[in-house]
Structure 1
Amino acid sequence: MATTTRPQLVKGSRAARTTIALKILMAVSGLLFIAFVLGHMYGNLKAFSGEESFNEYAHHLRDLGEPMLPHEGFLWIMRVGLIVALLAHVGAAVALWKRAAKARPVKYVAKKNVGSSLSSRTMRWGGLTLLVFVVWHLLNFTIVKINPSNGETGGENPYALLVETFDLWWMTIIYLVAMLALAFHLHHGTFSSLQTLGLTNSAASRARARAAGWVVAIVIAGGFSLVPLSVLVGIIEK
């Protein structure tokens, strides 16, 4: 009977240390993104307080840190930090994927994802989906402020742009699909990050990490989904 062997990383070797460093880089950058999307979700929920409250929040972000920071200084610091974290996260993910593929060059079907969750099996495709969505999301609401309802720019009224965007059923569907991908990514990513950082060394701690993954995924993806759904059914309107 033919067998295939996989090269194993020797503990303490340069390859092993590099792999551990890449995993830590992914974990830390992932946790930074969780903190960001949690704050972003809180800001989005301001839409339930009405146009004035939502726009005041959006414009306040530009003034945050003044006079110690210039106008929009805080936003640019956050943007640069997020770009660096994104490059680190994606770069580490690609490097680890290549290492895994190189360690098992022969494709075979012996046992398929036994015991793995759907969220763990969809991490790569989910991450790619989120990357594409983030580009569109930035064009829609930040960089160009494209208003898909009329093809024009959204101007300086973030609330109006939000409502007019999600008044379109297909835009809401796109957003909800992205939030489903985000939920899966957060569910496994939270557990994986805690595991990488050495916080799942017992059965009880692993159970807590899995529960944390569920809580983070449901709270953040669910919170983001409330706004477009509420716009679509008329709870949030201009």
Structure 2
Amino acid sequence: MALTSERAGQRTEDTATPNGREPSRAALLWGSTIGKKAAMAVSGGVLIGYLVLHLIGNLNVFAGPAAMDGYAAWLRTLGEPLLRREWLLWIARAVLLAAAVVHGTAAYQLSRRDLRARPVGYRHTRARSSYATRTMRWGGVILGLFIVWHILDLTTLTVNPRGEAGHPYENLVATFRTWYGDLVYIVAMLALGLHVRHGFWSAAQTLGLSSRRRERVLKATANLLALALTAGFVSIPIAVMTGAVK
């Protein structure tokens, strides 16, 4: 009896916060493996939704400068007159930043937890995992670095050699007329395809959407979504390189 009470007290002490209070349900959920996986799934869903919308908008480049520049101008007026100019755009950016931070933090902490729990001499887990699974971590790092470069290139125009504010079509074309712009973008989009393919499937399992009857449909959806995003984004630099977009 004394031993049971002692263990209960130890558990309470282990879960207590520095101020001596019990952690909230949100803190307990975040501290659990399933909680972190759920956070990754939901934040990943937000990011995938953005990617789909972002690709649809970027495909305006094939309709010419007026369509692309008009689309960019329309984004800045979203929410008017209820909201001021660009307010909705900044709200969306804040949501995306929060989703990216949650996604990256949960991924890093799960990775560290997995490494601590895995015995040093255990050699067969990687051999049984798929190529996409093995590249998820490096893919995430590549995408994180790409986001920074992408913002500097097409938002702040810091690294764009011919960047000019208010001319998104010309800025996009200027980027993809450089060999390094094409290389960075295409490599990142290939990493994105692998990340989305595996991430979509993992998220479906985490959120309980997967079953034997739905498995084929979900896998096909993951493959189709990854292929569509990769092909759609990569088609833009290829079009500039081949002269289809000038």
- Residue 211 of structure 1 and its aligned partner are, at CA, apart by 1.2
Rounded to whole Å, the distance in 2 between the matches of 1:167 and 1:57 is 22
Choose which of 122, 128, 153 in structure 1 pairs with 2:135: 122
Match of 1:197 in 2: 207
Question: Where do 4+ consecutive residues of structure 1 move more than 3 Å?
Answer: 14-17, 146-150
Amino acid at match of 1:215: L
- Residue 108 of structure 1 and its aligned partner are, at CA, apart by 2.2
Amino acid at match of 1:108: G
Matches within 5 A, 1:1-238: 18-104=32-118, 106-142=119-155, 144-146=156-158, 148-150=160-162, 153-202=163-212, 204-237=213-246
Amino acid at match of 1:80: A
- Residue 112 of structure 1 and its aligned partner are, at CA, apart by 4.8
Amino acid at match of 2:203: S
- Residue 111 of structure 1 and its aligned partner are, at CA, apart by 1.9
**Cα distance change of structure 1 residues 147 and 101 upon mapping to structure 2, 3 Å threshold:** closer
What do you get for the CA RMSD once the two structures are aligned? 1.7
**Structure 2 length normalisation: TM-score?**
0.84
Give the unaligned 5+ runs of structure 1.
Answer: 1-13
Q: How many residues align?
A: 219
- Residue 155 of structure 1 and its aligned partner are, at CA, apart by 2.3
Tell me the secondary structure at the aligned position of residue 122 of structure 1: helix
Rounded to whole Å, the distance in 1 between the matches of 2:244 and 2:158 is 23
Write 1 or 2 for the structure with the bigger share of helix.
2
Rounded to whole Å, the distance in 2 between the matches of 1:165 and 1:41 is 17
Rounded to whole Å, the distance in 2 between the matches of 1:18 and 1:31 is 20
**Structure 1 length normalisation: TM-score?**
0.87
Larger of the two Rg values belongs to structure: 2
Tell me the secondary structure at the aligned position of residue 201 of structure 1: coil
Query: Percent same amino acid among aligned pairs?
Result: 38
Asked whether the 8 Å contact 1:26–1:93 carries over to 2, the reply is: yes
The superposition leaves residues 42-85 of structure 1 with CA deviations (integer Å, 9 ceiling, x where unpaired) of 11100000000100001110000101111101110100001111
Amino acid at match of 2:49: A
**Cα distance change of structure 1 residues 124 and 147 upon mapping to structure 2, 3 Å threshold:** closer
**Range that drifts further, 204-213 or 130-139:** 204-213
Rounded to whole Å, the distance in 2 between the matches of 1:21 and 1:190 is 17
